[in-house]
Structure 1
Amino acid sequence: MKYEKLAKEIIENVGGRENINSVVHCITRLRFKLKDESKANTEVLKDMDDVVTVMKSAGQYQVVIGNQVPDVYKAVVEVGGFSSNAPVEEESGDTNLFNRFIDVISSIFTPILGVLAATGMIKGLNALFVALGWLDTTSGTYQILNAVGDSLFYFFPIFLGYTAIKKFGGSPFIGMAIGAALVYPALSGVTAGEPLYTLFSGTIFESPVFITFLGIPVILMSYASSVIPIILAAFFAAKVENGFKKVVPDVVKAFVVPFATLLVVVPVTFMLIGPIATWAGQLLGQGTMFIFNLSPIIAGLFIGGLWQVFVIFGLHWGLVPIAINNLAVQGSDPILGMMFAASFAQIGAVLAVYLKIKNQKLKTLSVPAFISGIFGVTEPAIYGITLPLKKPFIMSCIGGAVGGAILGFAKSSLFMVGGLGIFGIPTYIHPTEGLNFAFWAVLVSITVAFIIGFVLTYLFGLSKEKTAADAPSPKVVVQKDEALLVGNQIVASPMQGVVKELSELEDAAFSSGALGKGVAIEPTEGKLYAPVSGTVTALFSTKHAVGITADSGAEILIHIGMNTVQLNGKHFTAHVEQGAQIEKGQLLIEFDIEAIKQAGYEVVTPVVITDTEKYTNVNTTTDKKIKWGEPLISLEV
């Protein structure tokens, strides 16, 4: 299995199999629900070659992989022994309502996004072919392509029935059966005749009744492409099913539980859940359109400018169900429509970085990031290029805002869920008007967004030091020193101070290199931080020295002062214990510089790699002054 090793390392560094409640994936990232996020080794994960970055948002621990995430996800599921039908464990009490909502929505929609985008792309291309006169709506080719394009969205309740009830801890096939009942074609013909009577006459909820169930009126709705009814029905069904499981004998449970669940849930859904949820969806659609119509331009500025920020923190999931509901209720959606230009602003910024920056690694990474961004997958561009450089990301947000404002001004809307990037263009074709003004505004918006992202980044997004050959590159600590660029394992400075050669020390064990190669620091602040993520393998009772084994395997000794062992721990305060797992940048020891000096001891601190023989080169900084967290030593294997 290609990604077996990576999967094992990811599972290990999110705290192990026992720390994982659930894992799903979206287009570029693994989304873990962890029991205890503090057990995850975030810095180790970020340093992995096949991991772009790690995000913590909306109650999820997100490991960003990139385009290979489906294959990595399969490996994680197989290596971890996760059951694809296992119910998600209950959230901890400190998870807020918003985080739980985002988690539910992402878990329900994520598994079907790929197919939803694919069918939408087919439908969009079909509409484009008709608009260009290449196909006629009466042709067999058009009808077959339209059937493929409509297949998932028309029967959406069946697919959502599977993913929703699975999220709520029920049996997926029961959820599918409920969804299938909602779109059962024979019921749609019942409304052809005269109604038996009308409920709620004279109100916005006025509903003709054509059939009853055990004498109880049933308000028939059109549930094709609907979202809210099936999600609520699946939630109810999971509760009912689990209730029956507790009372039905095991010998007949396999068929009696589904029988009883469907017999209860389907009629209740038709009589109560479905109509109420449909009315709620209609009100939600009208409400969002009302807000949008108050000021489409401001709405476009807001959504277009902040969309990439929403994606980073997972907040975009709050808008996805609203947009899909609008498509089902209104036939179009401007909400997701206004974010379309953001990805093009992002790749404009990436192109500017590629053309202007001298750092060869950044140049190399910019090419695949740009290509992915063309097709709407912008995580490699965001996390690998623009966000680490800061200003290019801001410039891309400005481009996205202007593009969104243009879309808002033209009231451009999506008419189907389709692909991302250039594959999303056909989804803006009006089903009856074809290539109208709103469609051409889409092309203008993405062009303008791209140009703004490119020009602003090229002119103002990169300072002189960022365009130099030693500019920071993704997944590598910011480099100030050419000597450190050759190493592939970085040890950061554990303290702030003046850098000295080991040979300058009076202690022969350090100055001779007998204890290992490294460098010394004359501290100007009495704080010692972890130079790497790893384990405290030695902490002297006198607290003057600490041994660390990095997650990469490097063994590091840090000795605060010369002969300070004789202070017996006086003037030292340890914040960790031996055996503790530590993260890079964590405060390990505090010490009183002046008190140690007054006691007659030097505070110069050697930082040495005790297993030097494992490395072909141990490179140390040539800077004379250093701050904690800056690169101090690089190790070349």
Structure 2
Amino acid sequence: MSRMHVDGYLIDRNGADKMNDKKLASEILELVGTKRNIQGVTHCMTRLRFNLKDDTQAETDKIKELEGVMGVATSGGQYQIIIGTNVSQVYLEVESILADSVTPKEPETSQASAVEEGNLFNRFFKLISGIIFPVMGVMTATGILKGVLAGLTSFNVIGTDSGIYSILYSFADGFFYFMPIILGFSAANKLKSNPYIGATIGAALVYPGIVTLYNDGVDLTFFKVPVVLTSYGNSVFPVIAGVMLAAWLEKKLEPKIPAAIKLFTVPLLTLLITVPLTFLVLGPLMTVISDVLATGTQSIYNFSPILTGIILGAFWQLVVIFGLHYAFIPILINNIATLGEDPINAILNVTVFALAGAAIGFALKQKDQKKRALGFSTGITGLFGVTEPIIYGIAIPYKKPFIAAFIGGGLAGAITAGMGARMYGFGGNALFAAPLFINPKGMDVSFTAYLIASLVAFVVPLVISYVITKADDTI
């Protein structure tokens, strides 16, 4: 990837000469092996994520040279092409081209089948990414709003009994409470099964009658088998496990049910089997696993909070480079759902400020106008939570800003952990994360730690990057 390609892309996206998204999408599809080699494609905030039958068919070196492509990563069973903040527009063009194209059916080769299956980690990563990412936008929005409402009530701007609070909190908190329904729908979509069956499984888990029985401590049995009731509101893993079972059952039942009654019989049988098994086995099992993940994460943190802060604060963005950060999202969400707070994500937030500061420090030192514009534009983007344009446009090519971000992020991570900061919701990063550091029970040290650590994370890399970067640095 040449500097001209990276610089040209970032400048063009903000100027009059925007590149042709359709042309880029067409070039990418041709170089990944055309529709014949594509099993599926999704996108995150900055990357096109392809599931390819055979990664070796993709012409990676040529893809990296395309104007508008910032890099390529292969991890978690996905072939990831880094586009930047314009990825959603390019994705729409990709989808349009794929929908319009017709590929002759060809027999699967053993190699393609092997790639499709992949190892257990790759399949798990694809599943989790495919379930979580479609709901991330709304999850972020509602998480931020919950934090804002907590702040407004903490400063007595509005009361919890006001109409404004009640209406806004209904969907801000409602998303998380009814998350099993939303994730059930999303999981079924990902598994190519009936999404309304998935949503119904989630609805059963948070049905008010069941919640009342749990709150009242009722001993419930199902055909004399004891039911271990628990609270499934805000939960992640129980509904996913239930939908996985339902999807398998649905595919087994479909060909065996007469067409005349298939419409209602398949959902009926699927739910009659899945919902009781979810309450009896899968739900309690997944709840135990959720508790183990949450307490395990907390135990690692408690072993040495400051050391954890230094390591994660300095090097978390390396995980982002390999595109594996989405695999951690369910764990971070689970921490919030299980514990009501999360110290790990509080640390990770400083890494975004660190990269933003490093980019702006780089920009201030440069004489070349293109490089200055690159640094300022990506730095500002970083302040709003998107770091990959910085990583692939500045940190990796020029290296020294990345070193500055490691130092500042590690220091700020230690401060965050040392002060005992927590995030009380899951949502945005950097500036948008501020409301998530507000304790719903009242303002505490977490918000103060956010302010101090964020300032350190931004200023220290900015200064270091400015000092160690040359005015005429080249790649």
Give the strand-richer structure, 1 or 2: 1
Provide the C-alpha distance between the structure 2 equivalents of 1:114 and 1:28, rounded to a whole number of angstroms.
Answer: 13
Deviation of residue 167 (structure 1)?
2.6
1:55 paired to 2:78: no
Shift of residue 82 of structure 1? 9.3
Tell me by how many angstroms 1:391 deviates.
Answer: 1.6
Residues 123 and 148 in structure 1, CA contact (< 8 A), matched pair in contact too: no
TM-score, reference length from structure 2: 0.89
SS of the equivalent of 1:416 reads coil
Letter in 1 for 2:44: C
Name the residue aligned to 2:154: 131
Give SS of 2:448's match.
Answer: helix
**Given the alignment of the two structures, is residue 182 of structure 1 paired with residue 200 of structure 2, yes or no?**
no
Letter in 2 for 1:453: P
- Mark the CA change 1:48 to 1:156 in structure 2 (over 3 Å): closer, same or farther: same
Q: Is 1:284 the equivalent of 2:293?
A: yes
CA deviation digits over 1:68-118, x for unaligned, max 9? 2222222212221299xxxxx976278333333322221211111111101
Q: Is the 8 A contact 1:347 1:450 kept in 2?
A: yes
Which residue pairs with 1:512 in the alignment? none
Call closer, same or farther: CA 1:335–1:234 in 2, change over 3 Å.
Answer: same
Q: Aligned pair 1:445/2:453, yes or no?
A: yes
Name the aligned partner's letter for residue 282 of structure 1: D
- Where 2:157 maps in the other structure, the secondary structure is coil
C-alpha displacement of 1:7 = 2.2
Aligned to 1:4: 22
Paired amino acid for 1:264: I
Say whether residues 1:163 and 2:186 are aligned partners.
yes
- The answer to whether the aligner puts 1:254 opposite 2:263 as a matched pair is yes
Aligned to 2:108: none
Q: For 1:438 and 1:120, locate their aligned partners in 2 and report how far apart those are by CA, in whole Å.
A: 16
Aligned to 1:433: 442
- What is the DSSP-based 3-state SS (H/G/I as helix, E as strand, rest coil) of the residue aligned with 1:255? helix
Provide the C-alpha distance between the structure 1 equivalents of 2:394 and 2:421, rounded to a whole number of angstroms.
30
Asked if 1:26 corresponds to 2:34, the answer is: no
**What is the distance in 2 between the residues matched to 1:82 and 1:299?**
49
Change (3 A) 1:396 1:70: same
Within 5 A, what are the aligned runs for 1:527-538?
Answer: none
Q: Distance in 2 between matches of 1:399 and 1:35?
A: 41
Q: Structure 1 runs of 4+ off > 4 angstroms?
A: none
Deviation at 1:319, TM superposition (A): 2.3
* Larger Rg belongs to: 1
Equivalent position of 1:375 in the other structure: 384
List gaps (5 residues or longer) in structure 1.
Answer: 84-88, 196-208, 473-477, 479-637
CA distance in 2, matches of 1:445, 1:421: 11
Taking the TM superposition and a 5 Å limit, the aligned residue runs for 1:8-157 are: 8-81=26-99, 92=115, 95-157=118-180
Residue 214 of structure 2 contacts residue 231 of structure 2 at CA under 8 Å; is this kept in 1? no
Once the two structures are superposed, what CA deviation does each residue of 1:427-473 show, in whole Å capped at 9, x if it has no partner? 01111131x2222011111111111111211112x2x4xx22xx43x
What code does the residue aligned with 1:449 have? Answer: A
Structure 2 counterparts to residues 237-386 of structure 1, below 5 A: 237-386=246-395
Aligned partners of 1:399 and 1:376: how far apart in 2?
A: 17
Instruction: Find the partner of 1:422 among 418, 422, 431.
Output: 431
Match of 1:613 in 2: none
**CA RMSD in angstroms, aligned pairs only:** 2.0
Instruction: Tell me by how many angstroms 1:358 deviates.
Output: 2.2
Query: How far did 1:52 drift?
Result: 2.2
- Counterparts of 1:438 and 1:148 in 2: how far apart (Å)? 25
Q: Cα deviations across residues 479-514 of structure 1 (Å, max 9, x unaligned)?
A: xxxxxxxxxxxxxxxxxxxxxxxxxxxxxxxxxxxx
TM-score (norm 1): 0.67
Select the residue among 214, 219, 226 that pairs with 1:217. 226
Say if 1:297 and 1:404, in contact at 8 Å, map to a contact too.
yes
Deviation at 1:405, TM superposition (A): 1.0
Q: Deviations over 1:29-50 (max 9, x none)?
A: 1111111112112233223333
Contact 2:54/2:115 (CA < 8 Å) preserved in 1?
A: no
Question: Which deviations, in whole Å up to 9, do the C-alpha atoms of 1:338-395 show, x marking residues without a partner?
Answer: 1111111111111111111223321222222122111010111111112110121121
Higher relative contact order (Cα pairs below 8 Å, separated by 6+ residues): 2
Q: SS in structure 2 opposite 1:319?
A: helix
Shift of 1:154: 1.0
**Which deviations, in whole Å up to 9, do the C-alpha atoms of 1:293-347 show, x marking residues without a partner?**
1111111111111111111112223321111111111111111111111111111
Share of identical aligned residues, percent? Answer: 42
**Counterpart in 2 of 1:519?**
none
Task: State the Cα distance separating 1:179 from its structure 2 match.
Answer: 0.9
Are 1:122 and 1:148, in contact at CA under 8 Å, matched by a contact in 2? no
Counterpart residue number, 2:13: none
- Tell me the secondary structure at the aligned position of residue 81 of structure 1: helix
Structure 2 gap ranges (5+): 1-19, 102-111
Q: Which residue of 1 aligns with 2:243?
A: 234
In the TM superposition, residue 194 of structure 1 has moved relative to its aligned partner by 6.3
